[in-house]
Amino acid sequence: MLLDYGRTNVLRDEEGRQALHCISCSACLNVCPVYSRTGGHAYGSVYPGPIGAILTPQLVGIENASSLPFASSLCGACYEVCPVKIDIPTVLLHLRNRAVIPVAARREGSVMLLEAWVFGNRRRFALAQRIGRLAQRPLVRGGMIRRLPPPLAAWTRSRDLRPVAAESFRDWWKRERS
Ligand code: SF4
């Protein structure tokens, strides 16, 4: 029996099969803004970073890793540095089209909409910063948040979270320049 761990399925996909050219050099991981913030555990696979976001859903089935193709800003830095020129952004878009978005991903989409609403207005953003500073007080240990309560607990299961700064740049500017 030949065990290929899903690679035959990857080979069938004319767009996605280029992921098999990967030589595991990790160059795309080092330049990825998403990977540098989330860390490797967030990808739930032995293949983290941009290459993991396109290879894992193809190996395990898009229905089992449908959020991974969305774990990218599509900045294209991975494609720029890849020595074997895997067009990761194009494959990401291809897989997004194939993804069946489960409930969890829809929930993430709602959170993103809420964030966009907060970030889209200066007063709302300043208020959110003030609330964040107050809410984080009991959680900060040694300058970092080591554990978030549910429903955000998963974020700190494998990484620490940097707390909201004690003073925003706007406040600093006002204090220094007025
Ligand atoms: S840069 Fe290219 S070859 Fe290197 S790990 Fe990423 S996808 Fe693979």
The closest residue, in CA terms, to atom 6 on ligand 1 is: 28
The closest residue, in CA terms, to atom 4 on ligand 1 is: 25
The closest residue, in CA terms, to atom 3 on ligand 1 is: 22
- Which pLDDT score, from 0 to 100, does residue 58 have? 95
User: What are the E-state strand segments in 11-152?
Assistant: 140-141, 144-145
Structure tokens at 72: 């990218």
SS3 14: coil
Confirm if 159 and 36 have CB atoms less than 8 A apart: no
Distance, in Å, from the CA atom of 27 to the CA atom of 160, rounded to the nearest integer, reads 24
Mean pLDDT, the chain, rounded, equals 90
Distance, in Å, from the CA atom of 73 to the CA atom of 152, rounded to the nearest integer, reads 22
- Which pLDDT score, from 0 to 100, does residue 3 have? 78
Atom of ligand 1 nearest to the CA of 78: 1
Q: Which residue carries 């990401």 as its tokens?
A: 92
Pocket of ligand 1 (CB under 6 A): 22-28, 51, 81-84, 86
Confirm if 43 and 22 have CB atoms less than 8 A apart: no
pLDDT in 10s for each residue of the chain, 178 residues: 567 888 998 999 999 999 999 999 999 999 999 999 888 888 988 999 999 999 999 999 998 998 899 999 999 999 999 999 999 999 999 999 888 665 566 667 788 889 999 999 999 999 999 999 999 999 999 999 999 998 888 888 888 999 999 999 999 999 998 7
pTM for the predicted model, two decimal places = 0.65
Atom of ligand 1 nearest to the CA of 26: 5
- Which pLDDT score, from 0 to 100, does residue 6 have? 87
- What separation in Å is there between the alpha carbon of 56 and the centre of ligand 1? 14
Summarize pLDDT for 96-112 with one digit per residue, the tens: 988 866 556 666 778 88
Confirm if 126 and 170 have CB atoms less than 8 A apart: yes
Q: Which of 10, 17, 18, 26 is the pocket-test mutation for ligand 1 (most atoms within 8 Å of CB)?
A: 26
Atom of ligand 1 nearest to the CA of 25: 4
Q: Which of 86, 90, 91 is the pocket-test mutation for ligand 1 (most atoms within 8 Å of CB)?
A: 86
CB count in 10 Å sphere of residue 159: 15
